[in-house]
Amino acid sequence: MRTQVGIIGAGPAGLLLSHLLARAGIDSVVLEARSRDYVERRVRAGVLEHPTVELLREVGLAERLDREGMPHDGISLRFDGGDHRIDFADLVGRGITVYGQQEVVKDLIAARLRDGGDLRFEVSDVTLDGLADAPVIGFTDADGQRQELRCDAVAGCDGFHGISRGTFEPQMFDREYPYAWLGILAKAAPTQHELAYANHPRGFALYSMRSPEITRLYLQVPPDTDAGAWSDARIWDELGVRLAADGFTLNEGPLIEKSVTGMRSVVAEPMRHGRLFLAGDAAHIVPPTGAKGMNLAIADVRVLAEALTDYLRRGDESGVDAYSDTCLRRVWRAEHFSWWMTSMLHVSPDTDPFARRLQLSQLHYTVTSRAAATSLAENYVGLPHGENR
């Protein structure tokens, strides 16, 4: 087989890249190890930055997002028994939208299939060769047949555990955090409109939502926590303690999902090896506190789509040559913001009274200084694409 761009991974990054390339007249084939049903049901992030929403609207992918997404104009920071709202609309004039990653994936798959896109699910034994100048992707298709896909470029959008990054040896920057998140999806209507981030002496908690009927909540726990060791009643009791605030009520309901997610920061440099270009989690991981993971992936492929279009249609290699450096400027800004939010809101096992006072001082400053609140708001809602500070 022959195509212009071989894309490994049918998450938001790979699917959106295929869509953007198709709009520019560039052919691609998307290969995915999981089934279509699995990737459409896989629950991940739910916060879309303002630039992400604008891009999806620009390329005709926001009809259901605009109908079902939940726009938010701020978040709350809870600590010392008080609730403090960060007003995005007032501070920076834009906000975020809550819309599940799996919903973005459903929209992208439907659009690609409607437009004749080549999506191949349940492939296995993927190999990469000839990355210096003539890439070849080998794989076994869903029918058990061995195939070869020859292409001009490969986009590695196959996540942190995919094969793409393992084909070369980038420099790895890595930080492990001494805590994890116990997350639940509950069939319970949200009792407030916006997200609440809570710093409590017993640990961090996050109040979020996925729809008018479903809430998404998290508790800080040790990294080795077994989700099954936490009963539903214990989870609800602990959420009630950590999220407590005047006038706030916690609506309980049956749990749809319960899992533990580790916390780490990872960056691979460079994000390019020959004709292989990494995007999204294949190149970088952020702790979920700053809601940056999916948004960074989308920013990556926006840059990559433009670079590959210039290269494949006009022979201009300046964009592909600058791809890694361009993306990494934005990646490191998001890494810093995610680290800062995480450090400010979580209680580490080694937090002593001095460190605790510093943490509370930072929180008080953030909610009382317009300059500090504006910085949080600007980073949270997303820097405009093209501003890789």
Express each pLDDT in 195-247 by its tens digit: 999 999 999 999 999 889 999 999 999 999 999 999 999 999 999 999 999 99
Q: Which fold has domain 5-46+100-170+270-349?
A: FAD/NAD(P)-binding domain (3.50.50)
> Which pLDDT value is given to residue 32?
98
> Which pLDDT value is given to residue 61?
96
Active-site position among 19, 50, 72, 273: 72
Whether CATH 3.30.1330.60 fits 174-263: no
Of the listed ranges 19-28, 71-80, 378-387, the least confidently predicted one is: 378-387
Active-site position among 207, 292, 311, 323: 292
Active-site position among 288, 311, 323, 346: 288
Q: What would the two tokens of residue 234 be?
A: 């214990």
CA 176 to CA 31: how far, in whole Å?
30
- Closest Cα to residue 207, out of 377, 83, 92? 83
Q: Do domains 5-46+100-170+270-349 and 174-263 have the same CATH topology?
A: no
Percent of the chain with pLDDT over 90: 95
Percent of the chain with pLDDT over 70: 99
Write down the mean pLDDT value for the chain.
Answer: 96
The answer to whether residue 292 is catalytic is yes
Contact 342, 289 (CB under 8 A): yes
The answer to whether residue 288 is catalytic is yes
Question: Stretch 160-172: mean pLDDT, rounded?
Answer: 95
The answer to whether residue 201 is catalytic is no
User: What are the structural domain ranges in the chain?
Assistant: 5-46+100-170+270-349, 174-263
In the predicted structure, residue 81 carries a pLDDT above the cut 80: yes
Sheet of strand 272-273: strand arrangement? 118-120, 28-31, 5-8, 153-156, 276-278, 272-273
In the predicted structure, residue 388 carries a pLDDT above the cut 70: no
Active-site position among 177, 179, 311, 380: 380
- Compute CA distances 249 → 2, 97, 228, 240, whole Å: 57, 23, 26, 8
What are the tens digits of pLDDT across the range 278-302?
Answer: 999 999 999 999 999 999 999 999 9
> Which pLDDT value is given to residue 389?
45
What are the tens digits of pLDDT across the range 85-140?
Answer: 999 999 999 999 999 899 999 999 999 999 999 999 999 999 999 999 999 999 99
Active-site position among 177, 197, 207, 218: 197
148 strand-pairing partners: 138
The answer to whether residue 106 is catalytic is no
